[in-house]
Structure 1
Amino acid sequence: MIAMDVTDAPDQRRYEARIDGELAGIAEYRASERIVTFIHTEVMPGFEGKGVGSALVRGALDDVRAHGRKVRAVCPFVKGYIEKHPDEYGDLLV
């Protein structure tokens, strides 16, 4: 398993996944006070197939939950991830 940091970059309206400080993936969003709408997820070239997207979305969803917000999944990847993990994240959907 690769050590990865997932952090919110609110000034850029995205969550970022970094491996050894290098940007490995992003999950872009629009946020209101109560809802985070995920619009696009992208894994950078060279990091595909290493679980970056799933770890990024999991970290982002955990952060959304920690802040008492809900999720609108416009991004197909985020939507698919929640559908595959309904017991963990289904309650976050608006």
Structure 2
Amino acid sequence: MTEALAIRNNLEAQRFEATIDGQLAVCDYQRQGHHLVLPHTLVPPSLQGRGIAAQLVQAALDWARTEGLKVRPVCSYVAAYMRRRPETQDLLAA
């Protein structure tokens, strides 16, 4: 079972972030009109494999849905995450 993270939307830095064991994990975004571009997700190597990136990306997707935004997954991790989850397909920008 993956631990639930305290994820914040840092609007000033344009990223979803969580601090785990004193280390910062992030999912960067750029809001461009009616689109949310997700260019980069970073989880420190010592924290990888714990589902942290997935939780960060899901938080970003949930926010996009709430804000009525379409998502452009530039980050390869985000693109793969969305491909594996049919329930996110309606968020993809045309």
Gaps of 5+ in 1: none
Cα deviations by residue, 1:45-69 (Å, 9 ceiling, x for unpaired): 3211101011111111011111111
SS at match of 1:63: helix
Any residues of structure 2 matched to 1:5-84 within 5 Å, and which?
A: 5-19=6-20, 22-84=22-84
Provide the secondary structure at the position in 1 that maps to 2:7: strand
Question: Does the CA contact (< 8 Å) of 1:16 and 1:56 recur in 2?
Answer: yes
TM-score (norm 2): 0.87
Stretches of 4+ moved more than 3 A in 1?
none
The alignment of Structure 1 onto Structure 2 pairs a total of residues equal to 92
Q: Percent identity?
A: 35
TM-score (norm: length of structure 1)? 0.87
What residue ranges of structure 2 are gaps of 5+ in the alignment?
Answer: none
Answer yes or no: is 1:89 the counterpart of 2:59.
no
Equivalent position amino acid for 1:93 in 2: L
- 1:27 deviates by 0.8
Q: Could you tell me which amino acid in structure 1 is paired with residue 77 of structure 2?
A: F
**TM superposition shift of 1:30:** 1.2
Quick one: distance in 1 between partners of 2:23 and 2:59?
15
Is the 1:16–1:27 contact (alpha carbons within 8 Å) kept by the matching residues of 2?
yes
